[in-house]
Amino acid sequence: MASLLNRPFFRLIDEARNRLILQSAQGATIEIFVLEEDIVRVRVLPDGQPHGPRSWAIAPGMDDVPIEGRDRLDLSGFALPGYASEIAADCVRVSTPKIRLTVKLDGGFCAWEINQDGEWLIALEDRATQAYNFGWWDERVYHYVRRLPGEMYLGLGERAGALDRANQSFRMTNVDAMGYSAKTTDPLYKHIPFYLTWRAQTRTGFGLFYDTLADCTFDMGRELDNYHGHYRHFIADHGDLDYYFIASPGTPLDAVRRFTWMTGRPALMPKWGLGYSGSTMTYTDAPDAQARMNEFTERCAEHDILCDSFHLSSGYTSIDAKRYVFNWNREKFPDVEGFVNRYLEHGVRLCANIKPCLLRDHPEFERAQRDGLLIRDSDGQPAWVQFWDEVGAYLDFTNPATLTWWKARVTDALLRYGIASTWNDNNEFEIWTPNALAHGFGQPFPAREAKVLQTLLMMRASRDAQRAYAPEKRPFLVSRSGCVGMHRYVQTWSGDNATSWETLRYNLKMGLGLALSGVSNIGHDIGGFAGPAPEPELFVRWVQFGVFMPRFSIHSWNDDGTVNEPWMYPELTPRIANLVKLRYRLIPYLYQLLHESSTRYEPVLSPTFAQFPADARCYAECDDMMLGASLLVAPVVEAGQRERQVYLPAGARWVDYWSGAVFEGGQTLTLPAPWDAPVMLIREGGVIALNVAEQHFGERADRRAFMVVPMAAEGGTSAQYIEDDGETQAWRDGGCGTWRIAVQGGAQTLSITLAREGDRRFLCDTIELHLPDSETRAIMLDSGRIVADLRDGGWRKLTVDLAA
């Protein structure tokens, strides 16, 4: 009780290079780092000493961090702007043009304000009672803040349930949650302790990132205690309270962009990673796996299912019924070279499943144990864990020797055969014993205190192996588990979801949560991974939704022995084939969105209110989403529906992708939603790049078109699209071309500028412009000439010869 009554009183003891240090007589320390005008960091050290490891999350505008982590006092990459500091008898105040932080000296309580249009608005306040843990309770890290009415909480990565996390609590510890409920299961696979607070009434908000690798808990108002008022809180099992406040006035996307920038540049992966990826556990589990795999390409050719890759499940590594990473089962795959080459001849790359745990009878186990490559107990023995149906030990990726071993195995077992990429799976590192120790790059620590660091370093080692083997190529790899920083290395998905309509609805929200947490290259197991086969209607609706996700993979382990495949329902196969072709039609747009994610930190997906924060009706719970800034999609997520209600945000007209019909924003429409035509609407001012070439399995063709929705009144719009080889690193050195499209509308005319810049090898001479059929203004081009002007399906299609 005495410690609660005698809470620490702080005084400013140092201020240098954008770092202010406040300390109490007992040694408790609060550090304030002014990093950007819109980013301020606070670190609370109850005994004045740091207890957490280095950071693998912070990499402002960078491709990566040192393999051993970044020193937490390293401020490189940040602008370190000028700021004002005021010292009063009862507080210290730090101000930038966008943030004002006031710290009460009695107790260290923080109050944050954001400058919105010249007015300082209160954004966040520590709870007035026991906001921190200054050694009062236990060794855990606590942060309690006030909760105000009307606040929305968004993000926290991959979470089940509603997009708004208010009144819920979440445990952030990575587990293998096979068959999870996308509505209720917690925890799941990823560890992303970042969230947005948004107030629709004032259109202001902020992001909070807690830089911790420890298992942690977020309570967003579910807990209630009469002694403390309304609050929310963060608790970490280990380490320090080290958090970043990111101002986000006007739109929640400002904080998303800045958080993504702060945690590193998202990887720009090869364009083929946007194509359809086949996958199922059934093929590689079969005793004649190579023959079954060959049937897949035959069926793709038979039904003209476009396909760019296949995710090779772990059955290829089996000995009897168990999995042994990097082992090839030669009975199942008697000719590995021939198998891989056959796929490559069809234009399909293979992405091989790899796992970070060696079973105790793995052929390499004794050597790995002898060489110290495994996470071990304090007595030096392997730290045993349950893994699938056996006992094994995890590899220790904080040991440089393990990194070297792993990269060599990836190269020798996979890449040298022509395997194009790695599928990093079952990498949750479920280590619970306090006795397990990680090497820690020479500074051992309890392995359970930073499990997700192992996950991050595993995917990095896989990436580095691919880089070393083919340095001119962009690596492509995927990972199921992950943490902050994973976007620098991998594409990811929402894990082993259950087959149900509920999963379809809530996986949509889960993907939005990930995108609002800085991870945009994402997808889901289309059709559902665990459970019975999806019924025909559910399957086709899953595919309709999946065509809009950056990761587009049909994958399953159905407990009734069936396989989710494009041709699983013969009566639906032509429709599935056409939906896959729709996906390929949209790839130029999706590729640009991933490019903007990598270069401008833009989220690929977002809820409508993030793009239209002034429209109060966009905040209503819905199943719509924005793909980029220009395309609104409204998947059907309920059985028996042949129509779809969709609210069109106010402030823009909208054009139906299929019919070309034009609708005013600010209204709810009921639109047809047939099985072969998902609801898609293009925003006024939007320019959507398409591939309108006829494509077939094993054949690739590209003919560029741009769907343009001009402003109705006088005004202009513009867009740019990158064209490159889609596979190499040449784009970094200018090996790419750029389309620049600008449209200026007048009362009677539309002036269209089509500029081609950069490497002309990637920019064709003839393109199509698609305008709504209702657009009757005369077209004026600044270059080229119109060689065809047709009306087709509600659209006016102009063929333009740019070489003329």
Give the CATH number, domain containing residue 476.
3.20.20.80
Q: What is the strand order of the sheet 737-745 is part of?
A: 715-723, 737-745, 749-758, 778-781
Pairing of strands 667-672, 704-708: unpaired
Query: Do residues 292 and 250 share a domain?
Result: no
Beta-sheet pairing, 204-210 with 169-172: unpaired
CA distance 412 to 774: 59
Q: Return mean pLDDT, the chain.
A: 96
Over residues 526-533, mean pLDDT: 96
Same domain assignment for residues 466 and 550: yes
Query: For residue 692, is it within any domain?
Result: no
Least trusted range by pLDDT, from 385-389, 659-663, 687-691, 762-766: 385-389
pLDDT band at 294 (very low <50, low <70, confident <90, very high): very high
314-345 pLDDT, tens digit each = 999 999 989 999 999 999 999 999 999 999 99
Region 94-106 average pLDDT: 98
Domain presence at residue 21: yes
pLDDT of res. 136: 82
User: How large is the average pLDDT for residues 574-591?
Assistant: 98
If we measure between CA atoms, which residue out of 64, 57, 25, 27 comes closest to residue 41?
Answer: 57
Strands of the 84-87 sheet, one edge to the other: 84-87, 91-95, 99-104, 110-116, 119-125
**Per DSSP, which regions of 357-400 are E strands?**
357-359, 384-387, 390-394
Query: In percent, how much of the chain has pLDDT > 70?
Result: 99
Inter-residue contact 466 to 415 (CB < 8 Å): yes
577 token code pair? 């084939």
Distances (CA, A) of 579 to 269, 543, 584: 23, 7, 9
Nearest to 727 by CA among 261, 241, 273, 257: 273
Are 496 and 531 spatial neighbours (Cβ–Cβ below 8 Å)? no
Q: Report the pLDDT value the prediction gives residue 804, as an integer from 0 to 100.
A: 81
β-pair type (99-104, 110-116): antiparallel
**d(C-alpha 629, C-alpha 600), whole Å:** 13
Tell me what the mean pLDDT of segment 613-628 comes to.
Answer: 97
Q: How many whole angstroms separate alpha carbon 355 and alpha carbon 414?
A: 13
Within a domain: 428: yes
The verdict on 244 and 286 lying in the same domain is no
Looking at the fold, whether 590 and 650 belong to one and the same domain comes out as no
Q: How far apart are CA 800 and CA 785, in angstroms?
A: 5
* Domain finish residue from 210, 239, 262: 262
Q: pLDDT, tens digit, for every residue of 695-740? A: 999 998 999 999 999 988 777 999 999 999 999 999 999 999 999 9
Phi, psi of 406 (to 5 degrees): -65, -45
* CATH code: domain of residue 253: 2.60.40.1760
Report yes or no: 626 and 686 within 8 Å, Cβ to Cβ: no
Checking if the pLDDT of 356 tops 50, the result is yes
CA 52 to chain centre: 26
Residue 5: pLDDT band (50, 70, 90) is low
Long-range contacts at 582-585 (CB < 8 A, ≥ 24 apart): 582/547, 582/678, 583/275, 583/276, 583/306, 583/546, 583/547, 583/552, 584/275, 584/276, 584/306, 584/691, 584/695, 585/690, 585/691, 585/692
Instruction: Using a pLDDT cut of 90, give the percent of the chain over it.
Output: 95
Domain boundary among 262, 281, 314: 262
Q: 283 and 240 in one domain?
A: no
Environment class of residue 545 by beta-carbon count within 10 Å: exposed (0-12), middle (13-18) or buried (19+)? buried
Same domain? 595 vs 716: no
Q: Is residue 7 part of a domain?
A: yes
The amino acid present at 112, given as its one-letter code, is W
Asked if the structure places residue 635 within a domain, the reply is yes
Please report whether residue 59 resides in a domain: no
Note whether 211 and 228 are same-domain residues.
yes
DSSP string, 53-78: --BSS--TT-S---TT-B-TT--TTS
Domain of 552? Answer: 271-358+396-599
Does a structural domain hold residue 152? yes
* Domain CATH for 785: 2.60.40.1180
In a domain, 584, yes or no: yes
For residue 6, is pLDDT > 80?
A: no
From 554, 580, 599, give the residue that closes a domain. 599
Q: How many CB atoms lie within 10 A of CB 302?
A: 12
Nearest-10 Cα torsion for 68, 69, 74, 75: 140
**Considering all CA atoms of the chain, what is the largest pairwise distance in Å, rounded to the nearest integer?**
86
672 shares a domain with 529: no
Question: Residue 4's pLDDT is what?
Answer: 58
DSSP for 163-227 reads SS-TT-EEEE-----TTB-TTT--S-SEE--EEEEEETTTTEEEEEEE---S-EEEESS---BTT
What DSSP line would sit under 510-556, residue for residue? Answer: HHHHHHTTT--SEEEEET-SEESPPPHHHHHHHHHHHTTSSEEEE--
Model confidence pLDDT, tens digit, residues 369-409:
999 999 999 999 999 999 988 999 999 999 999 999 999 99
Report the distance separating Cα 340 and Cα 458, nearest Å: 24
Q: Are residues 210 and 284 in the same domain?
A: no
281 and 407, same domain (yes or no): yes
Q: Say yes or no: 400 and 280 in one domain.
A: yes
Q: Is there a single domain that holds both residue 190 and residue 315?
A: no
Count: domains in the chain: 4
pLDDT digits (tens, 9 = 90+) for 548-560: 999 999 999 988 8
For position 677, what pLDDT does the model report? 96
1 band by pLDDT with thresholds 50, 70 and 90:
very low
